[in-house]
Amino acid sequence: MARISLSFIFIALLALVAADISITTLDPWGELGKIGLGLLTTDLLSLPDFGSAILNTISFALLGISIAVVLGSLLSLVYELMIVRLFCSFIRSIHELFWAFIFMPLVGLNSLCGILAIAIPYSGIFAKVYAEIRQESDRQPYEALPPDSSRLSSFLFATLPVIYRDLKNYTSYRFECALRSSAILGFIGLPTLGYHLETAFREGLYSQATALLYIFYLLIASIHLWARARFIFVLIVAACWYTSWDMTFSSQNIIRFFTYDILPWPMKADGYYAGTLAITFPIAETFQWAVHVLKTQVLPGAWNTLVLTQIALVCTGLFALLSFPFASTAFYRRRTTWFMHTLLIVCRTTPEYIIAYIFLTLWGPSMLPAIVALFLHNGAILSYLTARNSNQMEIPFDGPISRIDRFCYEVLPRCYGQFLAFLFYRWEIIMRESAILGILGVTTLGYYVDNAISNDHLDVAALIIVVTALLTMAIDRISNSLRKRYKISGVRFEQAR
């Protein structure tokens, strides 16, 4: 494990040489002071339509997650099939914002776009985790069933009662994630909290921006009060009633999108200029188009995405290792751990996209805001989990007395394997997030997707999104191989959160 850790640090140092981490704003400290002042002078009363933004954020998340639960449950029943695993891996490798970009030309920028952008990737996530929970469940109840029990009866009477609590807890956690996803969908124009947050930051209205952040934290912190399982159907009905379904939906748009819009430009150029929308198959021109897109957009975007991912991954690990002792009762008293836990909750509750946007306002468009946002958000999650692991350790009565010795010789050696497993699990997610942060101006794959969408080059956008998904799947594959090779535990990381 030491060798793999040092290898990742070495790669991150090399990536740091190639990374753009410049600060381009003229007065970052002055802007930071204004944001700090906004934190102290929160202005709730002047927020325009924040009530509808909150309700839209909740309804998009609730309806999206409801669809995902249904689809994910069905897919989990046949998750053993290779084609299903690949399909689920592919759809969850594409970020919600990219899915929104895909659905925009199909259904328009409306409620359905936001709901589907959450539902599709979450279906893939639910399918994987639900299947893992089912496979790892206690098999003893099967022994009580009659030998000729059907597969459905076995599931309903022997499996579901055993795994119901795990399914419920995990779905509840994912609903919190869906609220974060729903909020950041506002950054591309959907009427959720992110829309008002982006407007407030762009116009320098930091008192309003911090008020929106406080509202978001309150929304997340109060989930256990208003999103209870017994009320869930009432909430879903209320969300359906509140959601605006006023949209133009055309099957012709869908057919045209998949059979024409995303095809390479050389295949449709002649038909476009002739006004017939006919498709041709010029192999040489299509090959040249693909090479041109690869050289000018895909490869630079992929390189920058990987550079950002590797730096952010190592920074995430270092941040978690340095911060978790302050949240652990193995090192500090409850007052210190409570304060650290509060900071960690704020960092992991705030979507990395919003953190990156704030630092981008301070430092300008480079990889630096993205790196900080990624390691703060992901590092806070890892720090919380590692601190929780260390809290469960029994420190010998003759163990090291000083905190540094206890950290180096007692706690870290015992929790490092689990920590590394958690970090590798975040690798795929950091990769997804690195790509999407390009929308903010960092030249990762998201930057080129955003440009292609803005210029109505859907063929280029589709190609880059597919490459992004394949890269994420490759990272996930490597991560799985490393965990198996080094026999690092932590398979049910998603449940641990």
Tell me the pLDDT tens digit for each residue of 209-249: 888 888 888 988 888 888 888 888 999 999 999 988 877 77
Question: pTM, whole model, 2 decimals?
Answer: 0.85
- Which helix (H) or strand (E) segment is 197 a member of? helix 193-202
Burial 176-213 (b: 16+ CB within 10 A, else e): bbbbbbbbbbbbbbbbbbbbbbbbbbeeebbbbbbbbb
In contact, 110 and 247? CB cutoff 8 Å: yes
DSSP SS3 for 126: helix
Q: How far is CA 418 from the centre of its chain?
A: 21
Q: Is 131 exposed, middle or buried (0-12, 13-18, 19+ CB in 10 A)?
A: buried
Walk along the chain (497 residues) and give the pLDDT tens digit of each residue. Answer: 778 888 889 999 999 988 888 888 777 777 788 888 888 888 777 766 778 889 999 999 999 999 999 999 999 989 889 899 899 989 988 989 999 988 888 888 889 999 999 999 999 999 988 988 888 777 777 777 777 777 777 777 878 888 888 888 889 888 988 999 999 998 888 889 888 888 888 888 888 888 888 888 898 888 888 888 888 899 999 999 998 887 777 778 888 888 888 899 999 888 888 888 788 888 999 999 999 999 999 999 999 999 999 999 999 999 999 999 998 888 888 888 899 988 998 888 888 888 888 888 888 888 899 999 999 999 998 998 888 888 888 877 777 778 888 888 888 888 888 888 888 888 888 998 899 888 888 889 999 998 998 888 999 999 999 999 999 889 888 888 877 776 665 545 555 55
